[in-house]
Structure 1
Amino acid sequence: MKKLFEPISGLLSVPYEPNEQTVILENPPRFTWMPAQLGDDRYVLQISDSADFASGRTETISPIPHNLYTPDHPLAPGRYYWRYALLEEAGEAAQTEWSRVRSFNVPEGLPETPLPARETRFADAKAGHPRLWLSPEGVAAFRERLKADPAFCGWDVFCEQSVRPWIERTPTAEPARYPGNKRVAKLWRQMYIDCQETLYAIRHLSVAGIILEDKTLIDRAKTWLLHVISWDTEGTTSRDYNDEAAFRIAGAIAWGYDWLYEHLSRQERADVRANLLRRTEQVAFHVIERSKIHQVPYDSHAVRSLSSVLVPASIALLHDEPKAKEWLDYTVEYYACLYSPWGGEDGGWAEGPLYWTSGMAYVIDALNLLRNYTSLDYFKRPFFAKAGDFPLYCCSPDTIRASFGDQSFLGEPASLKTGFNIRQFAGLTGNGLYQWYYERVKMSDTDADEKFYNYGWWDFRFDDMLYKHDYPEIQAVEPVDNAIQPVKWFRDIGWVAMHHRMDDPGEHIMVLAKSSKYGSISHSHGDQNGFLLHAYGEPLAIESGYYVAFGSTMHMNWRRQTRSTNTILVDGQGQYAGKDKVLCKEACGVVEEAYYRPGFGYARLNAKAAYKKNVPYLSRYIREIYFFNRTYAVIVDYVDLAQPGTVEWLFHTLYQMTLKGQSFRVNGVKAELEGRFVYNSSGDLALSQHDRFTDVDPAETEGLASQWHLHAATKPAASHRLVSLLVPMKKGERKYVSYFLDDQDHGVHIYFTNEQGITQKVEVQKAY
């Protein structure tokens, strides 16, 4: 046998799992390994409860087309061993030598989430149309319900607001090229909005026409569909020119082909199918051959294109095009094994709440389509059981600028689509907290359709209709203090949320902190050890900047950079947050501990690695956050350097601050915050503030309100210990937390007493 090439897994690559350290969370476990060759790799896998893979106790699976595998049956609890080999090309030896043997343990009581084998997984998928959402039998049943109730599932609203506008509308012209073929953000956005409108027209006219058996609507849907397939598949709506436009057009054609199938002539059907096949092929080629997300899973758009294109297009083309099954197999295997690359068992999403919203919106749609058509139910996986926790704790309905990562709704509360998504998980799990979130957001976000990040992405009437048809109504449960966790640690992504009175916006206090293993990759920022604070209906310590466009100077030079966040600079340098994905992933942090004890919440964060590229002489950066009595915060920073250096403690807010001595005050509209540096080992800090967005094109901020940025600078020293006190209060409230220091040999003990006479102590190691 030839020797097997077993490369070490890189920082961005899939790991060799399961292994001896892997905590198995679902049964069967998922198997991943590094590819043994660059292309056309096929494998044989063995799983055994015998260390020497004894005959009769070993399962052999072959061929496996990629470096990932999910078994088609659960394993009995116990210890197992596994190995794999590369299958060689025809004419050579059958396989290479076996890989290194790895072992794992399957505990009892895990959720069972096997994936049916390729040979059988689509055996029951019927060849009739439609098959996206409803089957022919489902259409007939829906029709019958409408006879008794014209408002069934919100059908009347859907027809009025989401179908009628497209009946007389002239089909959208094929988007023009960018001037000089150089992307312009405004034109890029308009292009994908035009394509989203095309999706609305084709999908909604087709669905309404077929269900109502209305020839006028069907003919109008055909007009739009045949118009769109006249567009150049290699032109402005191709994947490589504008992937967002391509995703929408492929989706539009998939829905049109599927729902209008019986109303297209043989030639029309062939023309539509050929167009859809090519557009799907473009996306599949990028995902599988170029981006290779089964090897390097951190490509946000490629992962989302599985949901927005490969699932609906492959389902629509199944039985008609052999490639459709290949693409659908790849997609369902990725979902079963590697999804989601942005979080894990806690339900977190490292890219932040906006990309949770968009990514989850599409995957919800895709997994519903798969479940309805193939009976594959991915919602049983542990990640989805807790996915609603992330927005609940990290993007609560009343909070503004209080979450990390790229956000197009920056400066506004949680979007209505975030609420729609979390309602899906209410329907799946019965969790009333999720339903409360949806109802609260729906109450406040009353102009959602007018915002580009909604109108260009989804139609709420269509989404509402599908949900009401497929899922039950859930009773809301308010997040009173005994219903939620006062400290929620998302271990999978390194975020910690601390809350008081989430149920009442006028009383709610939220402290959110982050130190993540994902670093600044993708839509994450250089904000390890950062914190945010929202209190009494107002953002006080904010995620600063504006969402102008991805790739703008605001995005690249401010928002992604440490200078925009509530953490520190060392000698003016922040964390790496450039364009090199490896360095972005290396610029990571870790939450070492987080918990709630009677009287306080606590988190300890370590961001040393995040500064390695820019501050190689940083030997330690630990931040401790105390949320005392769930009303005020104390932050302790430990910074050790191999050479003397200065530290700048950063704080960002919407309002010009009042600076006095070692204190700063935020005077908001609904709330205020008193900040005070109660201890600094190198002496008094030099406080200054400004309202500039450094290195940002002024044209990008024209007409936008100023924001204010505090820099509290130390004197040069090799070690720094900073303790800051943050006391939020309602507007006009006179409130303070008193404190005194007790110097105890190797430590400084600081005592804090609130207005109720409750005293808390923080011990700080001295700097020498």
Structure 2
Amino acid sequence: MSKSLYQPRSGVLTVQYGPDAQTKVIENPPRFTWIPTRLEKDCYVLEISERDDFPSGLTRTYAPVPYNFFTPDKTFAPGTYYWRYALYENDKRTSEWSVARSFSVPENLPETPLPAKGERFKESGYARPRLWLQGEEGIARYREKIAADPEGTGWKLFYELSVLPWAEREPHAEPEPYPGNKRTVELWRQSYIICQEMLYAIRHLSIAGKVLDDSRLLGRAKDWLLAAASWDPAGPTGRDYNDEAAFRMAGALAWGYDWLHGELDAEEKERVKRSLAARTRQVADHAIRRSKIHQVPYDSHAVRSLSSVLTPCCISLLHEEPEAEEWLHYTLEYFWTLYTPWGGEDGGWAEGPHYWTTGMAALQEAIEWIRGCTKLNLFDRPFFHKTGDFPLYVYNPNASTRTTFGDNSSLGGKFGAKTGYNMRHLAGVTGNGRYQWYYERIKEMNPEAAKLFHNHGWWDFRFDELVYRQAYPQIRPEAPSDAEELKWFRDVGWVAMHHRMDDPGEQIMLLTKASKYGSVSHSHADQGAFYIHAFGEALAVETGYYVAFNSTMHRNWRRQTVSKNSLLIDGAGQYADTDKSLNMAASGTVAEAKRDKIGSYVKMDVTAAYLEQVPYAKKVEREIYFVDNSYFVLVDSVDLNRPGKIEWLYHALYEMDLREQSFRVNGKKASLEGRFVFCSSGELTLTQSGEFAGVDEKEIEGLARQWHLKAESPPAASHRLVTLLVPKKPDEEDRYVSYFMDDQGFVVSLYFTDNGKTRKIDVQKAF
């Protein structure tokens, strides 16, 4: 008799059981996930059937399945199916079956099966290189290309600026440990910059040496590679000491071992392979066994390490290290089943556009290396055909880096150039001209991007050019003149309202969110918050500076609700400390988002985000109207189990003019007038400050002040607050939106008139 099967409940941080009857299946075959039955050494048999009694003739059986996630190797005909799993050992089922779950496969879905293990690497072969150009034949074909068109292929600039400088330099010395083994931001960055330069030197010298058959360049590449292999994998560049440095060193060794394989003698090959395998094992052990990203997938760095480390390293070691083959199988299965934990069908990315950029940059490279080596194409999955919409709408180059959510090292500066390169890559994949337009706008705005610290430490754009131009045609740009006026990324709970996205002088944008991801990872305590950019000016912004991850600016200001255009309740905001389960629970929900005759509208319930800090909160809701693509009306509804004050927060780059129940932001290109037109609990007290509470003064020394408005209500058990926000061009200083109130019955009806057009908004009273 089979033993019982433990089937734990899923939690907010775990993968979910799916698919089930409530799941919308978006690709064929569906992806299957469940909670592991054991903490270790679990292995499964999976059955998928056309009937719930699983008869043999109508049932597919898969075994052994080594982890709690699976993508079948064949598609399904449209219809209803059932699935279940059990433990599997020694070629037989060893437990009872799990609960059977049903799911439906609609017609005409993208077909994205993952070949079975024994079929995946048949195309890979033993030839080198395997990363990028495939084998000597691939090098020979590319050699002909660059001879015919050195500029059009990007080779000329790559050779002059990304190859020759490293040929004249000596390899870096291995970084020293932190003084007293206490990390400092400066030394942490210095270490990973050194390791990134080791990667540049080895990869670029190796490629140029092989393509040009240049013994001098090959010799210099070998010098850098052997120096890298001499560094201690368990030392200051090891994964547990500085994971960013470790990722770069593993990548450097992978490229060197692959491209210089024929240049190394037996002892040198063994030395490099030993170091490469050790570094790859560190990363694999952390992602798979320690972080367990197949069970709890919200570890940003561990998930990225599948792209930046396990993919190139395992391809480089394939057919030589059995462990590497298993790690590569895990990586492929993760990409085809669980990726991405940060978004879904709509292409969103819960961590925000900056970490979309870093995550997608590593993944796009990984997809190219996988496709080149195995002929498997992850770009076929529907997520990759939509995810370019995310930066297009929430990180638009005609707006500002201060008007989006999440950690962002470009805060207040120019847009990250790599976001543009990612979009260009997606333009090549999808043929979408709006993505190409995005790339060209970013490049036009930031022509010196390659020299900036946060680019040099992560990417070489000239190498990007080689890879892109070798694989894709040039796509004609198309300005987003037909962009959606309301874009709802349901998968992450972000809503963007746009007017004239393609024209900086006319554009108006509001971005808001209420997300199931709460404040986990690189998200902040910003449920229901909003940002406004209009007529070329950031008018409602995220204040603060990018000092460093985990600085006091980061922990005490930027992650906290106090830095957002949001609400505090009795001085308390949403949870944003270090408990991941509480971070995830501090969530919000978009109840409705639509376009109608008035304009754009969104309603958000963010009650859960406050409960850890304000357990007596009954309801916290925010509605936002973008009326006639001209002005905004915000309706905040707060119900408490005891009387309390609310504080309505607004942030700007300029000191505001405060007048009774109104305020004004005077920017350089535009202005914004804000008026509190109704507050059920009485008049608000308006104050503003230019200080950053809780931030070490040394971190902001010499930086410009920014301004924070607080509108505080009298105490009450229920609050209804209506705010009118009117962005204005410089020649509209005297323009106003008039309003009056009709207070009868169970609603307060507010009428707003702008240039002869009157709109009515009803607010439910609180009794």
In the alignment, what sits opposite 2:415? 414
* Matching residue's letter, 1:709: H
How many Å separate the matches in 1 of 2:506 and 2:174?
Answer: 51
Q: CA-to-partner distance for each residue in 1:665-724, whole Å, 9 max, x for gaps?
A: 001111111011011001110000001111111111111111100000000000000000
In the alignment, what sits opposite 1:246? 246
Which segment drifts farther, 639-648 or 146-155? Answer: 146-155
State how 1:551-562 maps to structure 2 within 5 Å: 551-562=550-561
Work out whether residues 33 and 69 of structure 2, in 8 Å CA contact, stay in contact via their aligned partners in 1. yes
* Matching residue's letter, 2:691: R
In the alignment, what sits opposite 1:135? 134
Work out whether residues 30 and 71 of structure 2, in 8 Å CA contact, stay in contact via their aligned partners in 1. yes
State how 1:734-745 maps to structure 2 within 5 Å: 734=733, 735-745=735-745
Work out whether residues 202 and 252 of structure 1, in 8 Å CA contact, stay in contact via their aligned partners in 2. yes
In the alignment, what sits opposite 1:727? 726
How many Å separate the matches in 2 of 1:407 and 1:451?
Answer: 15
How many Å separate the matches in 1 of 2:622 and 2:149?
Answer: 59
TM-score, normalised by the number of residues in structure 1: 0.98
How many Å separate the matches in 1 of 2:160 and 2:609?
Answer: 52
In the alignment, what sits opposite 1:289? 289
Q: 1:333 Cα shift? A: 0.2
Work out whether residues 497 and 512 of structure 1, in 8 Å CA contact, stay in contact via their aligned partners in 2. yes
Work out whether residues 545 and 707 of structure 1, in 8 Å CA contact, stay in contact via their aligned partners in 2. yes
How many Å separate the matches in 2 of 1:524 and 1:727?
Answer: 28
In the alignment, what sits opposite 1:625? 624
In the alignment, what sits opposite 2:45? 44
Q: 1:413 Cα shift? A: 3.6
TM-score, normalised by the number of residues in structure 2: 0.99
How many Å separate the matches in 2 of 1:579 and 1:549?
Answer: 16
* Matching residue's letter, 2:4: K
Work out whether residues 398 and 413 of structure 1, in 8 Å CA contact, stay in contact via their aligned partners in 2. no
Q: 1:89 Cα shift? A: 6.3
* Matching residue's letter, 1:538: E
In the alignment, what sits opposite 1:102? 101
* Matching residue's letter, 2:648: W
Q: CA-to-partner distance for each residue in 1:461-509, whole Å, 9 max, x for gaps?
A: 00011101111111111111xx111000000000000111111111111
Work out whether residues 657 and 708 of structure 1, in 8 Å CA contact, stay in contact via their aligned partners in 2. yes
How many Å separate the matches in 1 of 2:731 and 2:716?
Answer: 39
In the alignment, what sits opposite 2:203? 203
Q: 1:630 Cα shift? A: 1.0
State how 1:157-556 maps to structure 2 within 5 Å: 157-400=157-400, 401-480=402-481, 483-556=482-555
In the alignment, what sits opposite 1:54? 55
How many Å separate the matches in 2 of 1:476 and 1:168?
Answer: 39
Work out whether residues 399 and 414 of structure 1, in 8 Å CA contact, stay in contact via their aligned partners in 2. no
How many Å separate the matches in 2 of 1:209 and 1:184?
Answer: 37
Work out whether residues 399 and 413 of structure 1, in 8 Å CA contact, stay in contact via their aligned partners in 2. no
In the alignment, what sits opposite 2:6? 5
1:17 paired to 2:18: yes
Q: 1:151 Cα shift? A: 2.1
Q: 1:759 Cα shift? A: 1.4
Aligned residues: 763
In the alignment, what sits opposite 2:576? 577
Q: 1:338 Cα shift? A: 0.3
Q: 1:153 is paired with a residue of what secondary structure?
A: coil
Q: 1:766 Cα shift? A: 1.3
How many Å separate the matches in 2 of 1:700 and 1:463?
Answer: 34
1:71 paired to 2:67: no
* Matching residue's letter, 2:209: G
Which segment drifts farther, 587-596 or 141-150? Answer: 141-150
Unmatched 5+ stretches in structure 2: none
Q: 2:86 is paired with a residue of what secondary structure?
A: strand
Work out whether residues 86 and 93 of structure 2, in 8 Å CA contact, stay in contact via their aligned partners in 1. no
Work out whether residues 587 and 610 of structure 1, in 8 Å CA contact, stay in contact via their aligned partners in 2. yes
Q: CA-to-partner distance for each residue in 1:377-428, whole Å, 9 max, x for gaps?
A: 1111111110100000000002220100000000024211100001111111
Q: CA-to-partner distance for each residue in 1:66-85, whole Å, 9 max, x for gaps?
A: 00110001011101001100
* Matching residue's letter, 2:151: A
* Matching residue's letter, 1:348: G
How many Å separate the matches in 1 of 2:93 and 2:645?
Answer: 62
Q: 1:94 Cα shift? A: 4.1
How many Å separate the matches in 1 of 2:185 and 2:459?
Answer: 20
In the alignment, what sits opposite 2:750? 750
* Matching residue's letter, 1:464: E
Q: 2:157 is paired with a residue of what secondary structure?
A: helix
* Matching residue's letter, 1:687: L
**Seq. identity, %:** 59
Q: 1:295 is paired with a residue of what secondary structure?
A: coil
* Matching residue's letter, 2:573: G
Work out whether residues 312 and 369 of structure 1, in 8 Å CA contact, stay in contact via their aligned partners in 2. yes
Q: 2:60 is paired with a residue of what secondary structure?
A: strand
Q: 1:293 is paired with a residue of what secondary structure?
A: coil
Q: CA-to-partner distance for each residue in 1:265-320, whole Å, 9 max, x for gaps?
A: 11111111111000000000000000000111000000000000000000000011
How many Å separate the matches in 1 of 2:84 and 2:93?
Answer: 16
How many Å separate the matches in 2 of 1:599 and 1:220?
Answer: 66
State how 1:708-719 maps to structure 2 within 5 Å: 708-719=707-718
In the alignment, what sits opposite 1:660? 659
Q: 1:152 Cα shift? A: 4.0
Q: 1:28 is paired with a residue of what secondary structure?
A: coil
Q: 1:120 is paired with a residue of what secondary structure?
A: helix
Work out whether residues 514 and 589 of structure 2, in 8 Å CA contact, stay in contact via their aligned partners in 1. yes
How many Å separate the matches in 2 of 1:285 and 1:718?
Answer: 52
How many Å separate the matches in 1 of 2:731 and 2:653?
Answer: 18
Q: Which runs of 4+ in 1 moved over 6 A?
A: none
Q: CA-to-partner distance for each residue in 1:543-569, whole Å, 9 max, x for gaps?
A: 111111111111011111100101100
Unmatched 5+ stretches in structure 1: none
Q: 1:598 Cα shift? A: 3.2
Work out whether residues 427 and 471 of structure 1, in 8 Å CA contact, stay in contact via their aligned partners in 2. yes
Q: 1:194 Cα shift? A: 0.9
Q: 1:579 Cα shift? A: 0.1
In the alignment, what sits opposite 2:585? 586
Q: 1:730 Cα shift? A: 1.8
* Matching residue's letter, 2:105: V
* Matching residue's letter, 1:223: D
